[in-house]
Amino acid sequence: DALAGRPLRPASSPFRVWAQEAVAEAARRESEADLWREMLSDPPPQWGRRAPDPVRDVLGAMRHHTVSAPAPGTDVTEVLLAALVRAFGHGLLVDVERHGRVELGGTDLTRTVGWFTAVHPLRLDTGSVADVRDRLRALPGDGIGYGLLRHLRPRTWPAGLATARIGFNYLGKLTEVPALGGDPAMPVAHALEITAAIVGGELTATWSWLPEVLDDAEVRTLATAWTGHLAEPDPLDVEVSPAELAEWAEEFGEVH
């Protein structure tokens, strides 16, 4: 704006102010701890030779494999996660990463400089798009309370909860394939991380894994199976969740 000779817009909230609001927001969301306790009380299916070790497992040690497929038309996150469950052939516990730029406590982040991200776990039992959609919609505040409670209210956070070995991040529609970066010495939280985006109308996804934990051939086979499931007819065309049936029955009468 300054270079164009236009008046500067009002400054938005500094990151420091947002961080202060995050502490207050965590206190307001303490009642959500029961939701996360229920989701994470049972361990996920064992997969890989061991759990990631933050000391020995770092970003620079990960291997990468990129696959592509036709882009889903709608509900992209839900379609990708449902296909992941079908590729594995059993239920999964996945950490879902979101943008995290949530304006807490009346803060304004439109011009705030910084990288905001939020991660929350999601337990998936079926490869149904409708089921994935229902589970995502059931999370209060898009799941932001998980990180707030875990990191800002440690005294009230339940101990011994399960952790996901798979991380998933859908970046949205981009103009170019995203480059993977970061400090090579940074600890890795997941044995497998999937980073997906739609570029030029095509879905591109990079599967990154720890070779000391997972076999290369196994990961590549899963990635191929995943893209194959994405090419199947969209389950949204044929699947209706029990929650949707109940809503329709309430609004329109019994659904047969």
pLDDT tens-place string over residues 127-185: 999 999 999 999 998 999 999 999 999 888 888 899 999 999 999 999 888 787 788 99
Secondary structure of residue 192 in the 3-state scheme: strand
Mean pLDDT of 73-94: 94
For residues 45-49, average pLDDT: 85
- The kind and range of the H/E element at 206 are strand 202-209
One DSSP character per residue, 72-107 reads PSS-HHHHHHHHHHHHHTS-EEEEEEE-----GGG-
Which of residues 60 and 16 earns the better pLDDT score? 60
3-state secondary structure of 194: strand
Query: What would the pLDDT profile of 4-24 be if each residue is shown by its tens digit?
Result: 777 766 778 788 888 888 899
Is the predicted pLDDT of residue 235 greater than 60, yes or no? no
pLDDT greater than 70 at residue 1: no
Task: State what percent of residues in the chain have pLDDT above 90.
Answer: 58
Q: Which residues of 122-141 are buried (b: 16+ CB within 10 A; e: fewer)?
A: bbbeebbbbbbbebbeebee
pLDDT grade, residue 244 (50/70/90)? Answer: low
Both tokens of 68, joined, read 């592509």
* pLDDT class of 101 with cuts at 50, 70, 90: confident
| Sheet bearing 92-98, strands edge to edge | 63-70, 202-209, 192-199, 166-174, 92-98, 118-124
Strands 92-98 and 166-174: parallel
pLDDT at 67 over 70: yes
